[in-house]
Amino acid sequence: MKVGLLLLGLLSIAFAIPTEEKWQVPQKDGTKKWMTESELERLLAEETEKPIPEDDGIIYYLYTRNNPTEPQVLKLDDKKTLASSFFSTNYHTKVIIHGWLGDTESVLTKLIEPFVNQNGVWNNVIFVDWSKYAMTLNYAGARLKVPMVGRQVAKFLDQLHQFGGMSFNKLTVIGHSLGTHVVGFAGKSVELGKIHTIYGLDPTDVLFDSKKPYQRLNSTDAEYVETIHTNGQWLGFLHPIGQASFYPNWGKSQPGCEKDLSGYCSHARCVDFFVEAIQMGEGNQFIPTECADYQDVKKKKGCTLKTSGVKMFDTANHKRVSGMFYLPTKAEAPWGEGVFYEK
C-alpha cells in the first residue's frame, strides 16, 4: 500500500513539472540535432549582446518595370543611391525576404517577375538577400540572426519612407519559412509607420513558440497579417499566427508532393500559389470556406462555413478578413480549385 502511494506521489510530481520545449533542428547535410528551449534562450541572449557589424551584409535588390531583370542595389544609409534609382514614391512597394539556405536563387525569386508585371499595379519590388546569415551549416545559426536582420530591414524601410517618400499604406512585405520571422521583427521594429500588409508563407515553427509572439511573426506586426500554411507540423507552423490563416489541403501536405520525404515540396508550394494569385488578379481561384475554430483544422473536418468574396492572397482581405480558412487545390498548375463548395 505504501509503495503504491509512493509511486502515485512520484507520478503526480512528474506530471506537475512542465516539460521543456524541444526541437529537432535541421542541418545543411540533411541531419537533425535536438535543441531545448533553455539552450535557445541562452544562445539568443548571447546573440543580442553582439554588436551589429558596420557592414551588416544585407543586400537590397530593386526591380521595377524600368529594370525588370537587372536589379539596382540599394543600401542602408545611402540616400544618394536611392535618389538616383528607379524607386518611385508613386508605386506600391513589395519587399520579399527568403528563408534558411536562401539567396538570390531562392524559391521566392519566383515572385519578382509577376510583381514587376502585375496587371494594373506599378511596383517597387525589393528582394532582400540576407544569405550572409541564412546560408549557414545549421538552421540554428540562421535562426539566431533573425532578430538582428529584421531590425536592420526595419531601418531600411524607415529610410525608404524618410528619404524615398515610400508610403507605408502601399507597403507589402512577404517572407517564406524562416524569412517570415525576419518580416515579423521588421514589422515590430519600424518606427516611422506601420507595414500595411504582411504575407507569411508557411512560417517555420522550428525554434519558435506559438506562445511567444514577441519572438516570431505575429498578427499585430502589420495592419494586416495573412499566413498560408502548407507544411504544418513538419517544416512550418500549423497553429494560426496571422489575423487570417489559410490552410490549403488542411495545411500539412500538398497534392503532387506525395514522395516529399523532406517536406520541402509542400513547404515551397505556397510560393507557387502566390505566383498564380498575382498573375490571375481578380480571377484568383483560391476560394476558401471558413473554419469555426482551430480544432476544425487539426481534425481535418468542418471548415464548411461559406465565405462571401474571400480569396487567399486577395489584396482586399485587409478590409474584411480574419479567422481560419480551408481550401483544396489541384496537384498541378493551375492550382486554384475555384468555388468548390458549390459543386
In this predicted model, what pLDDT tens digit does every residue of 182-195 receive, in sequence order?
A: 999 999 999 999 99
229 is catalytic: no
Closest CA to 125 of 176, 69, 182: 69
CATH fit for domain 55-342, picks 3.40.50.10900, 3.40.50.1820, 3.30.450.20, 3.90.78.10: 3.40.50.1820
- 45, pLDDT greater than 50: yes
- 10, pLDDT greater than 50: no
Beta-strand (E) ranges in 37-152?
A: 59-64, 67-74, 92-97, 123-129
Confidence (pLDDT) at 6 = 36
The active-site residue, picked from 85, 106, 131, 177, is 177
Confidence (pLDDT) at 340 = 62
Alpha carbon of 195 to those of 107, 161, 324: distances in Å? 23, 11, 22
The active-site residue, picked from 56, 129, 158, 202, is 202
Cα distance between residue 74 and residue 273, in whole Å: 29
- 72, pLDDT greater than 90: yes
Cα distance between residue 322 and residue 224, in whole Å: 9
Cell of residue 342, nine digits: 458549390
Please give the single-letter amino acid code of residue 298: K
Cell of residue 219, nine digits: 498578427
The active-site residue, picked from 267, 272, 296, 318, is 267
pLDDT confidence band for 174 (50 / 70 / 90): very high
∠ CA(104), CA(106), CA(111), 5° rounding? 95
- 15, pLDDT greater than 70: no
- 74, pLDDT greater than 90: yes
Considering the chain, what is the average pLDDT of its residues?
A: 91
Q: What is the pTM of this model?
A: 0.92
Alpha carbon of 231 to those of 121, 191, 206, 253, 338: distances in Å? 31, 33, 12, 5, 22
- 341, pLDDT greater than 80: no
Confidence (pLDDT) at 19 = 64
219 is catalytic: no
- 159, pLDDT greater than 90: yes
Strand (E) or helix (H) holding 297:
helix 294-299
Segment 101-136, tens digit of pLDDT: 999 999 999 999 999 999 999 999 999 999 999 999
pLDDT confidence band for 1 (50 / 70 / 90): very low
- 231, pLDDT greater than 90: yes
Q: Inter-axis angle of helices 37-48 and 139-164, to 10 degrees?
A: 40
167 is catalytic: no
Confidence (pLDDT) at 230 = 98
What value does the mean pLDDT take over residues 310-337?
A: 94
